[in-house]
Amino acid sequence: MTTADCPLCIGDGGRVVLRTASWRLIHAGEAAWPGFYRLVWNTHVAELSDLRAVDRAACLDAVCAIESAMRRHLSPTKMNLASLGNQVPHLHWHLVARFDWDTHFPAPLWAAPVRQPAMARLADLQARLPALEDDLRSRAFA
């Protein structure tokens, strides 16, 4: 896949919460998963180990800082972090706040659902996003 074919090179990949010279944070915009963000590395590289050490550290420091903010604002049962990219091999990290009431818990979000969506809880979660995103935007990311 060349950069001209890559959806994460051609577009942002979703609603941009925060953008730095090296990466951007987008909200995944999946209705069933309000607490689902993606950190997308701006340059087209496939694997974490394709980054120089300094860039890798910056990437993972950002993932960790975003995880911390998500924990503080969303109080998830568990955080899920994943860099898969089988469909779009352009480095991006999935950051997902998981809850013991969500449709898939404790299964991975990519597995089959185990219960119906809890609409009131999803709405409550959605309502917490602006404060989380304001907090993230207020930080001095490199």
Instruction: Choose one: 13-21, 33-41, 60-68, 131-139; the region binding its own copies (CB under 8 A).
Output: 60-68
Question: Measured between alpha carbons, how far is residue 66 from residues 98, 115, 117 in Å?
Answer: 15, 28, 25
- The answer to the question of residue 98 lying near its own copies (CB under 8 A) is yes
- The answer to the question of residue 48 lying near its own copies (CB under 8 A) is yes
Instruction: Choose one: 5-13, 18-26, 62-70, 125-133; the region binding its own copies (CB under 8 A).
Output: 62-70
User: Using a CB cutoff of 8 Å and minimum separation of 24, what contacts does 19-27 make?
Assistant: 20/62, 20/141, 20/142, 22/55, 22/58, 22/59, 22/142, 23/58, 23/59, 23/62, 25/62, 25/66, 25/136, 27/129, 27/133
Kindly tell me which residue out of 19, 44, 56, 128 binds its own copies, with binding defined by CB under 8 A: 56
- The answer to the question of residue 75 lying near its own copies (CB under 8 A) is no
Strands 92-98 and 36-41, by their bridges, are antiparallel
3-state secondary structure of 111: coil
Instruction: Choose one: 3-11, 21-29, 31-39, 47-55; the region binding its own copies (CB under 8 A).
Output: 47-55
Residue 60 C-beta: closest distance to its own copies, Å:
5
Task: Return the DSSP state at 4.
Answer: G
Residue 100 C-beta: closest distance to its own copies, Å:
9
- Which residues contact its own copies by CB under 8 A? 46-49, 56-57, 60, 63-64, 67-68, 71, 77-87, 89, 98, 105-108, 110-112
